[in-house]
Amino acid sequence: ILNVEQSPQSLHVQEGDSTNFTCSFPSSNFYALHWYRWETAKSPEALFVMTLNGDEKKKGRISATLNTKEGYSYLYIKGSQPEDSATYLCALSSSNTGKLIFGQGTTLQVKP
């Protein structure tokens, strides 16, 4: 059974701080790693999909890296803003069947 772990569970930072979260997963049977941003009462928004070891992706102030050999991905937010406050989910797919196994999420609160 695939198990995806995210840490920390929650995080409070000041506006302007940079922060990062971790997603850990079993390195075997890896197909793709997804990051989502989920604001309350909205749909989860896809941030990144990564498949290759060493992948690095960037979207504005948010970036992510992937290490499939050791089974982890980092999500970085540079210069956090209050609008970055959300729950960040990572999900693993082990094949092209489409099934996603989610972590519990990291809830970020950015104080102005």
Partner 1 sequence: GAVVSQHPSRVICKSGTSVKIECRSLDFQATTMFWYRQFPKQSLMLMATSNEGSKATYEQGVEKDKFLINHASLTLSTLTVTSAHPEDSSFYICSARDGTVPGDGYTFGSGTRLTVV
- Output 103 or 110, the one with its CB closest to partner 1: 103
Q: Is the dihedral of CA 55, 27, 101, 21 positive or negative?
A: negative
Could you tell me the smallest distance in angstroms from the CB atom of residue 84 to partner 1?
19
Number of helices and strands (H, E) in the chain?
Answer: 0, 11
Could you tell me the smallest distance in angstroms from the CB atom of residue 14 to partner 1?
26
For residue 21, the number of C-alpha atoms closer than 13 Å in the C-beta half-sphere is 30
The CA distance from 74 to 96, in Å, is 23
Site string for partner 1, 54-83 (x = CB under 8 A): ------------------------------
Q: Is 4 in the site for partner 1 (CB under 8 A)?
A: yes
Could you tell me the smallest distance in angstroms from the CB atom of residue 35 to partner 1?
11
Q: Is there a contact between 76 and 57 (Cβ–Cβ < 8 Å)?
A: no
Q: Is there a contact between 92 and 100 (Cβ–Cβ < 8 Å)?
A: yes
- Output 74 or 102, the one with its CB closest to partner 1: 102
Which parts of this chain interact with partner 1 (CB under 8 A)?
A: 4, 32, 34, 36, 41-44, 46, 49, 51, 89, 91, 97-105
